[in-house]
Structure 1
């Protein structure tokens, strides 16, 4: 029997397509979509646990993207004669309050595996039951559905390759769900509300930086447009595996992660479009590799479902206590500001600060430098990425940082040789010079290690180390010797 009134609580699933929570709710006589801007997601907070520290939860780049995504969702719902109730308050207060005023029978929502998000969800569910409202959870965030895993999520392998082979051989991906026909949304009784301004959220409003690889515009509409542009309009997918380690330009990789992580794009829709591309254009290693990356994303989602808060411990899921992590506020500041004196790392951090984005290659090297070369608590770096990244996803971010720091899903040492990486992926120094203009006249063979220039050569190339650009804060080779 269909409910009279259903509420849909949107979280990180800001889309109309392939959204089980919205589709199931649409059977009701009335459906009211709701989104809550949780004040706890903005401003400074304690990391928590042993050896805690303070950090900013959500920075300006992701706050902008999220506000745009919510605005786009509201517009898409209004085009379907529905609406979106928006509030600036905790979901534990907003969702039960809306359900109570509307005398709702059910509240539908996507469930998420991160302990913090799960804690919010559990409180909402408890309060709904106290109002005699039925909470209905749906799994909406991954390529493979939780219920379709060949084994219980608590039994999945902690090694990616084993996990990938298991799901590829013994599971299947569901087809994307259709967009629902939505009934009336009686929001007049409670008011639709306005989307908070950056000032309301306590974040800075930032302008687009013309040096950025892409202007990441939030919302389902922009996500669908980006997917079509990358696959079909520009026909980039056929060379993805060869170009994915690029550093400059919008076309070297799909750059779908911001829309996937806020739920503006369904991973199943991405897969469907990849399969269509393979039918209509070409199927090769590159087309498979994009699906390979989506399975990586799934891997960390299910790993967090399995291990929970252990991923946020300094010793990680492996409980390592044999690494001496340093407390070095000045060293951390130099890393975060892009002032380490190691150009490849500094370019990556300056790009992150200015745009909220880094390529995967840049992220790995920047993370490895902090966690391995400096041996500064890796969680501080992961938390800084949480602040800055426009495409921050808790599982992918902390899972990858733990992996590189040697406390996550791989027992091997995962440190990167920064100079070798720089020469391989930025041989002409174009990326470094793009973000560090003070090195723009330094020749390609030297730009990644300017400290090798004599004072005379520095003068010839218009840069004086220690004045125009920092001296390196450590001896890289010596730091590697300590890791061996």
Structure 2
């Protein structure tokens, strides 16, 4: 049998700064690049067709570029183990190259299974870190220094012209049992960002050449942030762009004295991005459990009607509902509005964070497990070490969408309500409801909770919980594990 090496692609769907591919190219053996749409992952409670459409688009984009080198990524709709079992039955796989993935429990268990399989076949598996995240780290000592070092290292751009790629035959591809790629993944959704390294680069270029000038001013605005923010999160989450690539371009622009303040703030958020992924890598149980075990004692009775209203964007609070409906259609929302959605669910509606964490994972086109779960818990106030923020959706609306542009864009039933009244439509008189053609409680719901009372109740409950010895004890453990005293982060 022919000896080969395999590059196993996961959340690294690019050809620039790709250490796994670069390392494979340094060996003389032919390379087989593979990607697996894993049924177990596609069916996971965090998954949505929008994610796999973005991945499919990314793979198509890669293969269009790889044609120049007479190469391609072989795409399977099958679990990883059967694919490698089949490859190993037809080729002598010597080494497998991939990037470390900080994923959900499904991917973590899969990686353990694959490690055992590779070991049983004497296949060397080489994993390379992404985003400066290190597996096996016990604390945060020197984390910031190590991260900065990683971001400053030269990019690992594969020398594709020197590669020897092996293309699997159609007969081989058809002989392995697998599912057909759904047509809905191949259908472009015009309201959502399209996947692919070439598209990601266009977003990156437009941000660093012009859009960055509004970064600080527009970052909290639900509508203006759609252009003022980088919009690179999906391309980073699925690996169309590398964190190091983005960081170094920002650094280069700063050295040219271009938009230094905006870029400095942007870079700080890149660091926090990786900080949270490292946090999840070190304590991945937070996918399922409170990171601070003391909060297990805090009771939040399930109210399915409230959760349903929140998920559907029918809470009676315009900014909350506009954000949820926007997410459903576009897959994107700026950070402040995401935090507000979580705050409203867990504080005003007094629901456990687990009632909504998977719903938002499905809606976020840029779903990144390492950010999603730590951030969700932080905004839900169950860490015991972070300031609890209870966002007032009316004030957020008045501050960040004062003319109601974003609200009217997504809540068509309120499109005739004047800006001065749109933030609190439940206050419309009967005559005003007739005038503006919206009947509260019929066309648009009345508020499902009383804002101030709900916030006061939540604040008192959380304060009480924070005083529990069990919460304080685990908060000390969390600080020791995930932070470095008197230093960032």
TM range (shorter): 0.7 to 0.9
- In structure 1, C-alpha distance between the alignment counterparts of 2:383 and 2:230, rounded to whole Å: 26
SS at match of 2:11: coil
- 1:129 is matched with which residue: 119, 122, 126? 119
Offset of residue 255 of structure 1: 0.6
1:208 aligns with 2:189: yes
- 1:64 and 1:198 in contact (8 A); partners too: no
1:288-308 Cα offsets, whole Å, 9 max, x none, are: 111111111101111012112
C-alpha change, 1:409 and 1:86, in structure 2 (3 Å) is farther
Counterpart in 1 of 2:19? Answer: 20
Counterpart in 1 of 2:484? Answer: none
Offset of residue 75 of structure 1: 2.1
Counterpart in 2 of 1:230? Answer: 207
- 1:294 is matched with which residue: 255, 259, 270? 270
1:274 aligns with 2:264: no
1:169-191 Cα offsets, whole Å, 9 max, x none, are: 88863232122235232223576
State how 1:84-233 maps to structure 2 within 5 Å.
84-114=73-103, 115-140=105-130, 142=131, 144=132, 146=134, 153-156=137-140, 173-181=152-160, 182-189=162-169, 193=173, 200=181, 208=189, 212=191, 215-232=192-209
- 1:457 is matched with which residue: 432, 441, 453? 432
Counterpart in 2 of 1:285? Answer: 261
1:63-122 Cα offsets, whole Å, 9 max, x none, are: 211110121122222222221111111112213432442212101111123343222112
SS at match of 2:152: coil
1:7 aligns with 2:38: no
C-alpha change, 1:193 and 1:168, in structure 2 (3 Å) is closer
Offset of residue 365 of structure 1: 1.2
- In structure 2, C-alpha distance between the alignment counterparts of 1:289 and 1:483, rounded to whole Å: 32
Offset of residue 145 of structure 1: 5.4
Counterpart in 2 of 1:313? Answer: 288
- In structure 1, C-alpha distance between the alignment counterparts of 2:379 and 2:188, rounded to whole Å: 32
SS at match of 2:296: coil
1:417 aligns with 2:392: yes
1:6-61 Cα offsets, whole Å, 9 max, x none, are: 10000001111111111111123211100000001223x5xxxxxxxxxx432122
C-alpha change, 1:123 and 1:201, in structure 2 (3 Å) is farther
- In structure 2, C-alpha distance between the alignment counterparts of 1:479 and 1:70, rounded to whole Å: 47
- In structure 2, C-alpha distance between the alignment counterparts of 1:145 and 1:59, rounded to whole Å: 26
SS at match of 1:188: coil
Offset of residue 167 of structure 1: 5.9
- In structure 1, C-alpha distance between the alignment counterparts of 2:300 and 2:434, rounded to whole Å: 38
- 1:57 and 1:386 in contact (8 A); partners too: yes
Offset of residue 239 of structure 1: 3.1
| Root-mean-square deviation (Å) | 2.7
SS at match of 1:6: strand
Structure 2, unaligned runs of 5 or more: 460-489
- 2:20 and 2:98 in contact (8 A); partners too: yes
- In structure 2, C-alpha distance between the alignment counterparts of 1:15 and 1:204, rounded to whole Å: 19
- TM-score when normalising by structure 2: 0.86
C-alpha change, 1:368 and 1:176, in structure 2 (3 Å) is same
- 2:3 and 2:91 in contact (8 A); partners too: no
- 2:417 and 2:436 in contact (8 A); partners too: yes
Structure 1, unaligned runs of 5 or more: 46-55
SS at match of 1:445: coil
1:407 aligns with 2:382: yes
C-alpha change, 1:220 and 1:313, in structure 2 (3 Å) is same
Counterpart in 2 of 1:382? Answer: 357
What is the aligned residue count?
452
C-alpha change, 1:242 and 1:175, in structure 2 (3 Å) is farther
- In structure 2, C-alpha distance between the alignment counterparts of 1:223 and 1:438, rounded to whole Å: 35
- 1:316 and 1:407 in contact (8 A); partners too: yes
Offset of residue 463 of structure 1: 1.0
Counterpart in 2 of 1:63? Answer: 52
- 1:393 is matched with which residue: 368, 391, 407? 368
- In structure 2, C-alpha distance between the alignment counterparts of 1:303 and 1:281, rounded to whole Å: 33
- 2:77 and 2:178 in contact (8 A); partners too: no
Offset of residue 359 of structure 1: 1.7
SS at match of 1:216: coil
